[in-house]
Every structure is written in C-alpha cells, then in structure tokens.
A and B are shown apart, each in its own frame.
Chain A
C-alpha cells in the first residue's frame, strides 16, 4: 500500500476553500504535513483553524480543492482508523455520566467488532494510555470531577489508545495547568518520535518553539509555513493577528 511509504507527506491539502452558509472561512489553502512531524497551526480566533479541522475530518465538504490523508480521501482514511482527534475543552459535555476509563476505551472502538466488546488487548492499551497520561488513579472518576488539565489528558489518552497515524488536536493547551501542559508536550514528542503525524491548533504562542517542528500561520489562507523561527517573526504575527496583538 503506497500510503505507508515514508517519504510521502502524511497530509496534502490543495486549493482548499470551505466555510459555512454566508461565511467563507478558508480560501485557497495549500499545505502539507510531514510524517511523524509536529505542526502547529497558529492563527487568531476566526482565522479558520476549526474550519480547516472540520474539512480534514470530513465534517465539512470543501467548496473547492481537496484533502488527502495518506494518499486517500478523508472518509476512507477515517474508516481505516488513520485519524484521531482531541477536542477543545468547550466542546466537552462535562455533565455526561461517563468515567475517565470509559472515555479512553472509546479510542479502541475502531479496533473492536460490531458490538464493541473490549478484549484484553484493548484493556491493556487503555491501561497504558492512562499510565502515560498520569491518570491511572483517576480512571473511575467521572469526567465532570476532573480539573481542566486532567480532563484534557483524558482526551489525549483516548487518542493514544486509538493508535492512529494522524492526530488533530484543537487548542490542547487552553484551560490547562502548567504541569499538564508540560506532560502533554512531552507525550506529543514521544508520539511523533514513534511516527505519529500531528497537527495542533493553538493561539498560545509561548510554547510553540518547544512544541512544533513546523508552524503554519493561518488567516483564512496560509500566510507562512516553515520552521518556527522563520514563521513566528513579529512582522508575520502582526499580519496574522492584526489588531488583536497591538
């Protein structure tokens, strides 16, 4: 299968325009994500980061252009468990009666059969993901009883247990304490070293140099892409964030 050849980019987006009725959020976006690389997607609120994620996840059909994940259409890649997603904290229903362990087990559903019965390999993967995220002692807590950082780590643990080749993380450091931020950054580096491709949206500029191999600066289209020191210049950031930084 050519999708596993190491030199090809994991994600190729060409000429992508997408948006919602009456709003064109992305215009002619071109980008590539290298295999096993951590790419930070940096942009102001409303710059189209979430729209780009939605298009990559197949939640939003492109108006023009295309998204290829490992050489495949997004729907096909998703169905063969190539894609994982870590939601923003506002998207999580904290009143839902579900425990940490049960959330992480959801990461294993694509490895299970029709009725999603967990086998020992699934339980081991969940236990390992909980251990790596430092959540083993909280596994029976319901998610409403966690701190912001613990909750975010739960969803990272779910993505780890899933063992997908591509992980999309939507603002993983928003509402997260320092120690969770450090732990998550370290885990992401470990996952990348093991070959996972990562796209991380953030408007949190401080940590980007330590976190990412590459940065894409987005404001409805790609303003700049490349190494963090080349992209995150004052001049480029001023273009991306406009009045919001001044």
Chain B
C-alpha cells in the first residue's frame, strides 16, 4: 500500500506535479468560497479564459507567462466594467462578449505561432511538465494570494454579504473589489500549469459550491473549499499516473465527485435532506 502511494514520487517530475497541483488547487478552492458568495462564478470563467492571449504574447516576447496572463486578466475585468458602465446590457452579456473574444484572440495567436505544441498545453494544462522554477513561481503567487485572503478575510466576507453596509461604515469597497479581482487573476495564473485555461474555472467554482452546501459558517466553508481543492489535486494526480488519463480532467472530476457527495449528504440543501423533509411532511399529513 505504502509502496503504491510512494512509488510515483521516485520521479522528480511527479513530485513537482503533485506539489504544484495541490498548492494551486487549494488556493483556487480558498478563493472560490468568496467567488461563490459574491455571485462571481461567471466572472471567474471570464478572467480564466481571457488570460490566453496574454500568455501566448508573453511566450512570443519571452517574458514570464504569469505576467502576460495577469495583464490580460485585468484587461478583461476593465473591459467588462467599461461595457457595463457605458451600455445598459446585462452583466452576463458583457461578460460573454468580452471573454469569448479574448479567448478567440488567444486561439488565433497560438495558431499563428511556430512551436504550437507547447502552447496547446495552455488550453488543457500539463502538470507533469512542471519544472522546479514553475513550482517556485506558483508557490510564491499562491502564498501571496492566501496571505492577502486570510488577512483581509473579514472585509471580503462583509463585502460579499452586505456591500451597502460595508460602504456605510467607510470600508473602501472599490479597493476591496479590485483586490479580489487581482487575486482572481493571480490564482488563475497559478492554476494554468495544472488545469489549463479551459478547466481553471472548475476549481474556482466547485470547491466553493461544495463548501456552500455543507457549511453553516464562513470559516467552515473556507476550510471545506480549500480541502476539496487539495484532495481533488492529490487524487487527480494519482489517477492520472496510474491510469494515464488527463491530469487536469482527473482533478476536476475528483472535485465534482466531492460536490456530488456533498449534494447527496448535505444536512440542509441536499437530496437526503429533501427526501427526509418530504417524508416528514407526508407523515404529518397522514397523521393530521
């Protein structure tokens, strides 16, 4: 058993892969608690998909891919905000226009660039190709993100819960919102190697959704969402090693599996609870 668990990690590339997958998935999971409560799932998808042209341009220019991703993530946010302010379109419409356009730009840039094989990894992730340098970069970004989130967690939670009150008591809600969007872009960068542009959003939504189903307090929700991310990463990396399946896909499926379990077992929202309520009410009707 121990040998089964340890044998993949005789290889340095597997050690890097596991470390980078766990770190990035845990920090994505952490952030996803706030995204779910802010109603920002679609915003998460928008930022995640919009980073693609930035990464390709960074590759062409030979600068760190994370920098390009960050710039385009923020550009997407700015374009969405600008369109929402200057038109009366609903927000999901502006988001849909912006991120699909940027994603398409990324695809065109990839196809126009020689050495396409490496760039295709951006779409689907290639965690087994993680180098030590990648690992350090991801660890540093994740540490910064986690630190800011934990230090200002009470302000972010108030922002998500009651923005008007946050404004009334003098919190700088605009700054807090901007910081949260910057963290969203940073988190996306950390998860690119593991999950790729297409699946990053899964880890920005599913862990938070799982925590939401189970938790009664925000601290518990945060703990659950980070753990769901980390556990999914561990199981996913193993699954991909033993069965040779897509790592990103396996990680996301493991997160989905945890979500389904939570949905079935949740004491308040879940299927079991709904059945219990129905039985209780039909019992009550039968008696009364």
Using CB atoms and an 8 Å cutoff, list the residues of chain A in contact with chain B.
21, 57-59, 75, 78-81, 83-85, 87, 91-93, 96-99, 102-103, 106-107, 109-110, 114-116, 142, 158, 162, 164, 168
A21-B88, A109-B158, A115-B154 given as contacts; is B221 within 8 A of A97 (CB)?
Answer: yes
CB distance from A146 to the nearest CB of B (A): 13
A106-B158, A109-B155 given as contacts; is B170 within 8 A of A85 (CB)?
Answer: no
B168 close to A (CB within 8 Å)? yes
B165 close to A (CB within 8 Å)? yes
A107 contact set on B, CB distance < 8 A: 169
A97-B221, A98-B217, A99-B216 given as contacts; is B158 within 8 A of A84 (CB)?
Answer: no
A79 contact set on B, CB distance < 8 A: 170
Q: 19 pairs across A/B with beta carbons < 8 Å?
A: A57-B168, A59-B167, A78-B168, A78-B169, A80-B170, A81-B169, A81-B170, A84-B169, A85-B169, A97-B215, A97-B218, A97-B221, A98-B157, A98-B217, A98-B218, A99-B216, A102-B218, A109-B154, A109-B158
Contact B170 A99 (CB under 8 A): no
> In the complex, which of the residues B161, B164, B169 contacts A59, with contact meaning CB atoms closer than 8 Å?
B164
Contact A87 B218 (CB under 8 A): no
Residues of chain B in range 158-187 having any CB-CB distance to chain A below 8 Å:
158, 160-162, 164-165, 167-171
Contact A106 B165 (CB under 8 A): yes
**Chain B contact surface mostly:** helix
A81 contact set on B, CB distance < 8 A: 169-170
Contact B164 A85 (CB under 8 A): yes
Residues of chain B in range 225-277 having any CB-CB distance to chain A below 8 Å:
none
Tell me the complex Cα distance, A168–B37, Å.
Answer: 26
Contact B155 A96 (CB under 8 A): no
Tell me the complex Cα distance, A85–B158, Å.
Answer: 14
Contact A83 B152 (CB under 8 A): no
Contact B165 A85 (CB under 8 A): yes
Contact A115 B220 (CB under 8 A): no
A110 contact set on B, CB distance < 8 A: 169-170
Sample of 15 more A-B contacts, CB < 8 Å, known A59-B167, A97-B218, A99-B216: A57-B167, A78-B170, A80-B170, A81-B170, A84-B169, A85-B164, A85-B168, A87-B165, A91-B164, A102-B217, A106-B158, A106-B162, A109-B158, A110-B170, A142-B217
- The 3 nearest A-B residue pairs measured at CB: A78-B170, A79-B170, A85-B168
B151 close to A (CB within 8 Å)? yes
CB distance from B164 to the nearest CB of A (A): 6
A109 contact set on B, CB distance < 8 A: 154-155, 158, 169, 171
CB distance from B109 to the nearest CB of A (A): 37
B103 close to A (CB within 8 Å)? no
Contact B168 A96 (CB under 8 A): no
CB distance from A94 to the nearest CB of B (A): 11
Tell me the complex Cα distance, A142–B214, Å.
Answer: 13
B220 contact set on A, CB distance < 8 A: 97
A92 contact set on B, CB distance < 8 A: 162
A111 to chain B: closest residue by CB: B169
A91 to chain B: closest residue by CB: B164
A103 contact set on B, CB distance < 8 A: 161
Residues of chain B in range 115-169 having any CB-CB distance to chain A below 8 Å:
151-152, 154-155, 157-158, 160-162, 164-165, 167-169
B212 close to A (CB within 8 Å)? yes
B169 to chain A: closest residue by CB: A110
As a 0/1 sequence over residues 28 to 62 of chain B, the CB contacts with chain A under 8 angstroms (1 = contact) are 00000000010000000000000000000000000
B221 contact set on A, CB distance < 8 A: 97
Contact B217 A99 (CB under 8 A): yes
Tell me the complex Cα distance, A23–B273, Å.
Answer: 46
CB distance from B214 to the nearest CB of A (A): 9
Tell me the complex Cα distance, A85–B165, Å.
Answer: 6
Contact B167 A58 (CB under 8 A): yes
B165 to chain A: closest residue by CB: A85
CB distance from B216 to the nearest CB of A (A): 5
Tell me the complex Cα distance, A81–B217, Å.
Answer: 27
Q: Interface centre among A57, A98, A99, A103, by most B CB within 10 Å?
A: A98
